Amino acid sequence: MRSVFSDESRFRSWLETEIALSKAEASLGLIPTEAAENISQAARIDNLDVPSMKEHYERVGFPILPLVKQIASACEPESAKYVHWGATTQDIIDTGLVLQMKEALSLLEVDLNAIICALSSLAKVHRDTVMVGRTFQQHAAPVTFGYKAAVWLDEMLRHRQRLQQVRQRALTCSFGGAVGTLSTLGADGVRVLERLARELGLETPSITWHTARDSWAELIFWLSLTCSTLSKIATEVASLMRTEIDELREPFSPGRGGSSTMPQKRNPVCSPIIIAIGNRIKESTSSMLTAMIQDHERAVATQPLEWIVIPEAFVLASGSFMHSKRLLEGLQVNESSMMRNLTLGGGLLMSEAVMMGLAPKIGRGQAHELVYEAAGRANDEGISLRDALINDEAIMTHISVSELDQLLDPSNYLGSARDMIDSVLAKTK
């Protein structure tokens, strides 16, 4: 990702845009075919004198003028007249950055698909692995780890769906000339735009978007959305790695996660980075919303803001995706700890199940009151919920011990979890 947004890649994207522009105009007879061929040969990274470009840039303050001068210098005199024909600086910079983002998204999509595959495998393998479901950080009712993974998976599938839509809007060619009307090309402007977009494999806009930056803001928001989901997953993994819980563990190899002072430690390594990126990248979204607020037909200060924010956001996202892929592909699931934790609290986890088992016989309100009182006694006296229930005549009048044991079995209180998992897995296929 750093390579995609390097100076050399930026120059290449500008050169690619200038070449495509000359080809598009030559195909419509607006410039000589020989000129387009010569420009294509001249617009190479090897022909750029970067120190000279830098010196020129520091004088004029705009980056494309030095580039155009370099291309023209490498061309034959007659062809040099047609370099950058009908374009403005923002056209080349915006389209070049779109080409970089297109490549960057292709890189991210590889990891996105790998993350989806890893989550799909976890959901499938652990479809029936019963564990504690927690709300407000306390035991609530049983779930399966496959269900938890399927919730994450479904969210990532939505991000993947959003990506296809965002691509169509954000990866759009920019070509409008001075104020966006392509006035230098007369009636041929739109035709050149269409040919240019086709040459570069980009979408064709209906109108110039020099000051309409919503699509780029949406793209960076997509990065932030996706990284926030990955941050949520990493937060859960780190929480379930706690010594007292020990239900999940990050991939381990000798020395990984070690402490400089505590020999026993196997600290989370991927999760802290993913969580930090999720927090940091949110600021990119705010900056892109600021960049949307523009004046006239070209704004004063928003372009440089985008040049800072967009590469950084992609580099951050690539780090989150990389560490998340590593985390999920090698995630260790401790089923014995999950089973052990189901029994913590003496079965209080199953209070709702008992209540709903009694409800058809005595009504939900009375069932809730009786089980609530039994759960309170279990808490206060340090006994199991089962013992508290069995010693309650008001409850046992309506239910047998065998029925009670069925209600207290976590595997019998999973509702539609398995059907939901299967639905998400079918969508993944």
The tens digit of pLDDT for each residue in 303-345 reads 899 999 999 999 999 999 999 999 999 999 999 999 999 999 8
The continuous run of DSSP H or E covering 14 comes out as: helix 7-27
Name the nearest CA neighbour of 146 among 171, 174, 125, 117. 125
CATH code for the part of the protein at 90-185+200-340: 1.20.200.10
**What is the residue-wise DSSP string for 24-85?**
HHHHTTSS-HHHHHHHHHH--GGG--HHHHHHHHHHHS-SHHHHHHHHHHHS-HHHHTTTTT
Flag whether pLDDT at 114 surpasses 70: yes
Give Cα 281 to chain centroid, integer Å. Answer: 10
Q: Where are the domains of the chain?
A: 7-85, 90-185+200-340, 345-416
What's the one-letter identity of residue 368?
H
State the pLDDT at residue 170: 97
Instruction: Tell me, yes or no, if the two domains 90-185+200-340 and 345-416 fold the same way.
Output: no
pLDDT at position 261 is: 60
130: β partners: 144
**pLDDT above 60 (res 264):** no
At a CB cut-off of 8 Å and minimum separation 6, what does 399 contact? 357, 358, 361, 407
Torsion angles phi and psi, residue 95, rounded to 5 = -65, -40
Summary mean pLDDT of the chain = 93
Q: Do 130 and 410 meet the contact criterion of CB atoms below 8 Å apart?
A: yes
Distance CA 321, CA 227 (A): 8
Q: What is the pLDDT of residue 90?
A: 95
**Whole-number Å distance between alpha carbons of 335 and 149:** 14
- Note the CATH number of domain 7-85: 1.10.275.10
Residue-level length of the chain: 429
Q: Can you tell me the mean pLDDT for 26-35?
A: 96
DSSP string, 77-131: HHHHTTTTTT--HHHHHHHHHHHHHHHHHHHHHHHHHHHHHHHHHHHHHTTT-EE
Q: How confident is the model at residue 275 (pLDDT cuts 50, 70, 90)?
A: very high
Residue 29 confidence (pLDDT): 96
Straight-line distance from the first to the last Cα atom of the chain, in angstroms, rounded to the nearest whole number = 29
State pLDDT tens for residues 163-180. Answer: 999 999 999 999 999 999
Place of tokens 């100076």: 7
Supply the DSSP string of 359-407, one letter for each residue: HHHH-HHHHHHHHHHHHHHHHHHT--HHHHHHT-HHHHTSS-HHHHHHH
pLDDT given for residue 268 in this prediction: 82
Residue 234 has pLDDT above 80, yes or no: yes
Q: Are 348 and 375 in contact (CB under 8 A)?
A: yes
Percent of the chain with pLDDT over 70: 97
Q: Which fold has domain 345-416?
A: Ribonucleotide Reductase Protein R1; domain 1 (1.10.40)
- pTM over 0.85? The answer is yes
- Note the pLDDT of residue 62: 82
pLDDT of amino acid 299: 86
Assess contact for 190 and 182: CB atoms under 8 A.
yes
The SS3 of residue 43 is: coil
Quote the pLDDT of residue 260. Answer: 54
Confidence at 4, pLDDT banded by 50, 70, 90: very high
Residue 57 pLDDT: 86
Distance from C-alpha of 65 to C-alpha of 86, rounded to nearest angstrom:
14
Residue 305 near residue 289 (C-beta atoms within 8 A):
no
